[in-house]
Amino acid sequence: MPEFKVVGGDREAGQGAGGQSVEVAAVARRRTFDGGYKRRILEEIDRAGPGETGLILRREGLYSSHLSTWRRWRRDMGGKKRKKKSEGKSANEKRQAKEIAKLKLKLAKAEAMLELQKKAAEIWDLADEKSETDS
């Protein structure tokens, strides 16, 4: 739930309960929920009787759209275990792999240029030898 700071104030400012003004943070921050919290709430909702769903949603400060999104999330997971970040490549490893690939391409181009220069030198040497024998 967003946090509000209640301060004493005048009637012209925004008002909260009892005529007190309410100061709201200038930048709203999107709430995030971890998988364990989502599973716990969905299990509680699944066990809830008629009319109790609304009570749970109000208590937790959630909307029914959260439930439909989370149910889709649970269905798509299908009991599959997600990889932990440590099991996959880290951002640093991905960046390094990309840099290595780029350097390998650069090396291949440089080697191709060297081969081309060698062949050009051979051609020039052959041309020089022919011109010397013709003279």
Q: Are residues 24 and 7 in the same domain?
A: yes
Same domain, 21 and 38: no
pTM: 0.41
102 burial via Cβ count (<10 Å: 0-12, 13-18, 19+): exposed
Domain that includes residue 65, residue range = 32-78
| Residue 4 located in a structural domain | yes
Instruction: Mark whether 36 and 26 lie in a shared domain.
Output: no
- Residue 36 domain-assigned? yes
Neighbours of 70 (CB within 10 A): 19
Residue 83 within any structural domain of the chain: no
Query: How many C-beta atoms lie closer than 10 Å to residue 74's C-beta?
Result: 15
Q: How many domains does the chain fold into?
A: 3
Assess if residue 88 is contained within a domain: no
Tens digit of each residue's pLDDT (9 = 90 or more) over 82-95: 556 556 678 888 89
User: pLDDT band at 12, cuts 50/70/90?
Assistant: very low
Distance between CA atoms of 121 and 94, rounded to whole angstroms? 41
